[in-house]
Amino acid sequence: MREHIVNTEVGTLVVNICDEIVVNGELEWELQFKAKENIEKGGSIKILVPAYQHQRSEEYLQTYDYWKPNYIYAVGEEDDIKVDVRIEKVPSAFSHITGWVDSNRIAVVTLDNGLKEGQTIKIKFGGIDRPWLEGECTPSRVSQFSFRVNGTYLIYKVFIDKMGNGEYQEIKAFPLVKVVPDKAKRIVLTAPSIIKTDEEFNIDINVVDRFNNPIFDYDTDNFKLVISNLDTKEKTTITKVEDKFLGKASKEGFYEIIVEDTDLHVEKAVLLCNDSGDNLYWGDIHTHSNLTANIRDNDCGAYPSEGYLYAKEVSRLDYICISEQTFMFNEDRSVNVDKDTWNKIGTESDRFYEKGSLVTFPGIELHSKRGDTVVLFRDSLSSYEYPSEDVLDIGDMWKFYKGKEFLSIPHLHRYCNGRPRKDEQEQKFTGFDTQNWKEYNEHEVLCEIYSSQWGRFENDKHPMILKARANVEGNTVVDFLNSGKKWGTAANSDGHDGNPGYGGITGVYASEKTRESIFESLSSRKTLASTHPRTVIKFDINSYDMGSINEGDKSPRDINIKTIAPSNIKKVEVIRNGEVFCSESCTTNYMDITVTDREELDKDTYYYIRVVLENGHFGWTSPIWFI
C-alpha cells in the first residue's frame, strides 16, 4: 500500500491504499484524519465507496460482523474520543435497489464528542486483521471486473461535516485505484461468420483472464493462426502483417481458425464460406447504461460511451441497441426517461454509429402492464418526437409512432413466480394476462427467447434457471407461437454493467453493416439467437428463407440446415409447432443435413431449428411458417 496525504483547512487526511489491485484481489485501506481545528459534537466524516457491479450479492460495507468481509470500523487515537460508525444506503426511488445489500455503500463516521485540534481518528476497511486479531478474519475482495477500454477504476468520495449540522464539504482524499486483469487464461478469436471465396477478412484477437477481462497490452505479434477447411482438411498458416491478421478461403465450405503453439486455451472462430446470400452480423439489442435511472443510482461506471467502446473493442459486436428503462415519459428523472435523457440516448447512439464498423440503434425499454418491451428505433432519435405522458403501454407506443419505423421486442420474465422476493415493479400490476397480448402490430416481429440476466424462455418443459426460476402458464415463446404470433427469435444480455455482448447475442442475416440494412433484416425475422457462442445456422425450407410466411404451399417440405459452432455440437433439432419433429446427433462442430417432412399440412405450421452444443449452450433460428 502507498501513503497519500491531503492537507485541508479542516485537517490532514492520510490514505493508505494500493494504487493497483488485480481483479478478485484483496482490498483494504486506512484513512487517518488529524484535525487542524475543532470538529463540533456530532460532526462526521462520510465515505461513499464505489459500486463494483450490478446486483452484487454481498454488502459493500458492513459494521456488524468483524469476522466477515467488507467490515469497516473507526477508532480514536485516545480512549476519550467517541466514534460511531453506521452504514447508509445510496438514495434511490427504486425499492428493489434499497432492498439489495449492495446499496450499503455509505459509511458515516460520527464524532459523538467532536474532535479537538491535533486529535486523530483512523477508519479502516477490509484486510484480514481486526483490533487485537491478526490474520484471523475473512479478506475483502475487489470485483471480478476490469474490462473498461479506458481503464477500470475505483473512485472513492469523502465528505466532512465540521459543524455537525449535516452540511458536508467534499474532500478529494483517495487516489484513483486501478483494477487490472488477472493473468492471461484464454485467447478469443473473432472473425466474420459468413465469408466469400478469395476475399480477405480481418481476424480479431482478445486475450482474456479467467473472468473474461481483456488484456489489451498482451503481445500477439508472435501468434500463428491456422485456418482449416473442415471438409478438405486443408490448412493455411496466418501471421500478423502490419498489425492485422488477415484470412482468406479458397472455396466454399466450413472453416475454423485456431492459434497454434500456445499454452492458453483457444476459443476458435468458425466460418461458413458461402458465395450467395447475406452476411451474418451479431449484436446485443437489450442492454443498458447509467442513463437508466436505477443503474445510475448504484452505478459502477456504465456510461454509454463505455458500453459502445466495449461492444466495438472487446465483444466485437456488429450492432447494438442500448435501451434505457422507463415507466412513463415525464420529467421525473428519478425513475423515468426525461427529455434530457431522451436526447442523450440519441446523441450518444449517433456519435458511435460507424457504417461498416459498429451499427448503433437508439432505444428504450418500456415497463408496462403487459410486461417489459424493448423499443428499437431505426433512425437517429432526433427523427422521433419525445413521447407524451399518456404513453403508458406498448399499444400507446404503437399509436404514438404510427408511420414511423421502429420495432417492439417483448421479453417474458416479468411474471416469474420463482423469485424469493418481488419488488414493487413486479407487484405494480395484477400479473400475466393473455388479453394484454391479443393485439397484433406490424412492429412486433421479434421476441427475446433468452437473456443473460434472466434465462431461457423457450417453452414450459425445460428447467427454468438463473434469475427466473419459474414462469406462469402460457408465458413462453412456444406458447405465443402456438397462439399465432409470428415472432422471430432474439437473445441478449440485458446487461447493467456496461459490457454488452457478454452473454446472449442475436445474429441477423443482412446485406451490409448499416442501420438501414440490419433494421430491414430484423424486421424480416432473419435472425438467430444464441446463449453466447457465435453458432452459425443456415436454414431454409423449399428455398423459403428463415422468418418467411408462406401461403398455400402444401408440398413436402425439404428442411435444409447448415450449422457450425465454436465447440462440438451435441444435436440439431427441428421443432415443428413447438414439438421436436426430428433430432440429429453429432460428434463434430459442424453439420450439413436435409430433413424431409412429408406429412400433409392440415393446419398452420411453423418450423425452427434448435442447436444444442456439448458445453450446454443453445442456438435457435427464427421460424418459417406455412399457412
What span, in angstroms and rounded, lies between the C-alpha atoms of 500 and 54?
A: 13
Question: In the prediction, which pLDDT does 134 show?
Answer: 93
- The residues with which 573 forms a beta bridge, in sequence order, are 583, 610
Question: In the prediction, which pLDDT does 274 show?
Answer: 94
Burial class of residue 589, CB neighbours in 10 A (0-12, 13-18, 19+): buried
Burial class of residue 580, CB neighbours in 10 A (0-12, 13-18, 19+): exposed
Question: In the prediction, which pLDDT does 433 show?
Answer: 82
Res. 444: pLDDT tops 90: yes
What span, in angstroms and rounded, lies between the C-alpha atoms of 502 and 53?
A: 14
Question: In the prediction, which pLDDT does 415 show?
Answer: 57
Question: In the prediction, which pLDDT does 57 show?
Answer: 86
* Position 420 confidence tier, pLDDT thresholds 50, 70, 90: very low
Question: In the prediction, which pLDDT does 423 show?
Answer: 52
DSSP states of 508-577: EEESSSSHHHHHHHHHTT-EEEESSS--EEEEEETTEETT-EE-S--S-EEEEEEEE-SS-EEEEEEEET
* Position 434 confidence tier, pLDDT thresholds 50, 70, 90: confident
What span, in angstroms and rounded, lies between the C-alpha atoms of 195 and 205?
A: 18
* Position 243 confidence tier, pLDDT thresholds 50, 70, 90: confident
Residue 330 and residue 338 in contact, taking contact as beta carbons nearer than 8 Å: yes
* Position 424 confidence tier, pLDDT thresholds 50, 70, 90: very low
Mean pLDDT of 248-253: 95
Mean pLDDT of 145-168: 95
pLDDT tens track for 291-340: 999 999 988 899 999 999 999 999 999 999 999 999 999 999 999 999 99
Res. 368: pLDDT tops 70: yes
pLDDT tens track for 375-396: 999 999 999 999 999 999 999 9
Residue 188 and residue 314 in contact, taking contact as beta carbons nearer than 8 Å: no
DSSP states of 187-226: EEEE--SEE-TT--EEEEEEEE-TT--B-TT---TT-EEE
Q: pTM of the predicted model, to two decimals?
A: 0.95
Q: How many percent of the chain have pLDDT more than 70?
A: 97
Question: In the prediction, which pLDDT does 429 show?
Answer: 43
Q: Which of 35-44, 113-122, 432-441, 506-515 has the lowest mean pLDDT?
A: 432-441
pLDDT tens track for 537-552: 999 999 999 999 999 8
Would you state the cell numbers that stand for residue 285, as one nine-digit string? 439489442
Residue 409 and residue 376 in contact, taking contact as beta carbons nearer than 8 Å: yes
Find, among 479, 468, 529, 563, the residue nearest to 285 by Cα: 529
Res. 427: pLDDT tops 80: no
Residue 78 and residue 119 in contact, taking contact as beta carbons nearer than 8 Å: yes
Res. 155: pLDDT tops 90: yes
Would you state the cell numbers that stand for residue 143, as one nine-digit string? 470485483
Would you state the cell numbers that stand for residue 57, as one nine-digit string? 450479492
Question: In the prediction, which pLDDT does 396 show?
Answer: 96
Average pLDDT value over all residues in the chain: 94
Question: In the prediction, which pLDDT does 370 show?
Answer: 87
* Position 200 confidence tier, pLDDT thresholds 50, 70, 90: very high
pLDDT tens track for 459-511: 988 887 787 777 777 889 999 999 999 999 999 999 999 999 999 999 999 99
Question: In the prediction, which pLDDT does 310 show?
Answer: 97
57 or 480, greater pLDDT: 480
What span, in angstroms and rounded, lies between the C-alpha atoms of 92 and 335?
A: 9
* Position 428 confidence tier, pLDDT thresholds 50, 70, 90: very low
Beta strands in 313-380 (DSSP E): 319-326, 359-368, 371-377
Question: In the prediction, which pLDDT does 416 show?
Answer: 52
pLDDT tens track for 284-299: 999 999 999 999 998 8
Question: In the prediction, which pLDDT does 395 show?
Answer: 95
DSSP states of 106-120: EEEEEETT-B-TT-E
How many other C-beta atoms are found inside a 10 Å radius of the C-beta of residue 411? 24
Question: In the prediction, which pLDDT does 464 show?
Answer: 76
